[in-house]
C-alpha cells in the first residue's frame, strides 16, 4: 500500500525525480540515468499503472489523494503530498491536473519482436517534436494501428509531453526503436510488410487507391522536410493525401504530420 508523506520543501531530495520538468536537457539526462518517466494527471497515471509500469513515487496536492485512493491502495510507493505552490515550485510550472507519478521504464523490445504479430505499422523517421509523437500515438491507438517503429533520432514517446498529449496511448501501442537508420527498414520488408512512403509529391498514388496487402508499414517523415530521399527510395510505393484544387492553387500541398497521420491511418483500416 502507498505511504502518504507530507512535504513542504520543494528542494527535498526525495523529490528529485520531479525537478525541472520543463528543462528538456535536464530531463533527458535524469530520465535516462535513472530509467524513469513522468506521468501527469489521473487518467494517464491510471493507464501507466494499468499497463504494468512500476511506480517509483507520486507527487500530488492533497485534493487528489481521495480520487486516486483506489489505485494508491494497490501500489507500494511513497505518495508525496504538498500544497499547490510547493508542487509548482518542484515541477517548474502549475500542475493543473494536480497529480504526478514517477514510473519505471520497461525494456523496449527489438523491432522484429514488436512487429511479429502486427498487420498495420507506423514507421516514424526523425520526428523530434514530443507533442507530435504523442499525438501520432493517439491516432494510432484510435485507428487500429498495431505497432509503431521509431528511427534512432525520433523523440522519446515516454517523455512527459508525449505521454500527456497521447492521453496515455503510448502505453497501449507496442513500439520499438531502430538501431540502424540505414538498414533497419529491411526488417519490416523481410517480415512481409509493404512499405508505403507518405509524401506530398503529386505523382504519388492517392492513399485511398493504393493496393494494401495483409501487412502494411506506413512511413512518416518530419514536418518540415518529410521523409529522407533514402527512405523514399527504399519504399515500395509513395502515397499521398489528395489536396483540393483550391488548396493547391493557394500553395497548400500538404497537412501537418499529425493530421496526415490521422487521415492515413484511417485509410489503412479499409483492408484490415
User: pLDDT tens-digit profile of 171-200?
Assistant: 999 999 999 999 999 999 999 999 999 999
Global pTM?
A: 0.92
Q: Any residues with CB less than 8 A from the CB of 218 and at least 6 apart, and which?
A: 120, 121, 122, 123, 196, 198, 239, 264, 265, 268
Q: How far is CA 40 from CA 28, 106, 176, 188, in A?
A: 17, 18, 23, 34
Q: How far is CA 184 from CA 10, 33, 88, in A?
A: 45, 26, 42
Reported residue count of the chain is 272
pLDDT, tens digit (0-9, with 9 covering 90-100), for 218-267: 999 987 789 999 999 999 999 999 988 766 666 666 789 999 999 999 99
pLDDT of residue 2: 77
pLDDT, tens digit (0-9, with 9 covering 90-100), for 107-162: 999 999 999 999 999 999 999 999 999 999 999 999 999 999 999 999 999 999 99
What domains, with CATH codes, occur in the chain? 3-104 (3.30.1330.30), 111-271 (3.40.1280.10)
Mean pLDDT of 21-50: 93
Amino acid at each position: 500500500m502507498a505511504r502518504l508523506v507530507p512535504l513542504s520543501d520543494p528542494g527535498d531530495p526525495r523529490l528529485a525525480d520531479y525537478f525541472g520538468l520543463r528543462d528538456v536537457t535536464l530531463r533527458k539526462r535524469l530520465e535516462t540515468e535513472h530509467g524513469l518517466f513522468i506521468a501527469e494527471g489521473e487518467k494517464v497515471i491510471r493507464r501507466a499503472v494499468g499497463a504494468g509500469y512500476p511506480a517509483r513515487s507520486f507527487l500530488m496536492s492533497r485534493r487528489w489523494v481521495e480520487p486516486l485512493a483506489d489505485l494508491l491502495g494497490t501500489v507500494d510507493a511513497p505518495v508525496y503530498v504538498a500544497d499547490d505552490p510547493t508542487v509548482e515550485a518542484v515541477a517548474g510550472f502549475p500542475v493543473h491536473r494536480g497529480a504526478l507519478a514517477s514510473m519505471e521504464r520497461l525494456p523496449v523490445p527489438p523491432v522484429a519482436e514488436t512487429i511479429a504479430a502486427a498487420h498495420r505499422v507506423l514507421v516514424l523517421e526523425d520526428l523530434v517534436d514530443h507533442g507530435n509523437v504523442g499525438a501520432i500515438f493517439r491516432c494510432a491507438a484510435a485507428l487500429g494501428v498495431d505497432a509503431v517503429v521509431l528511427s534512432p533520432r525520433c523523440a522519446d514517446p515516454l517523455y512527459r509531453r508525449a505521454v500527456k498529449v497521447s492521453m496515455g496511448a503510448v502505453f497501449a501501442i507496442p513500439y520499438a526503436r531502430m538501431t540502424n537508420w540505414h538498414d533497419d527498414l529491411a526488417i519490416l520488408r523481410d517480415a512481409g510488410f509493404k512499405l508505403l512512403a507518405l509524401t506530398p509529391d503529386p505523382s504519388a498514388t492517392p492513399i485511398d487507391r493504393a493496393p494494401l496487402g495483409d501487412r502494411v508499414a506506413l512511413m512518416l517523415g518530419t514536418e518540415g522536410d518529410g521523409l529522407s530521399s533514402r527512405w523514399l527510395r527504399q519504399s515500395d510505393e509513395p502515397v499521398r493525401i489528395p489536396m483540393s484544387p483550391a488548396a493547391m492553387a493557394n500553395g497548400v500541398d500538404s497537412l501537418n504530420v499529425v493530421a496526415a497521420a490521422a487521415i492515413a491511418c484511417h485509410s489503412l483500416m479499409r483492408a484490415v
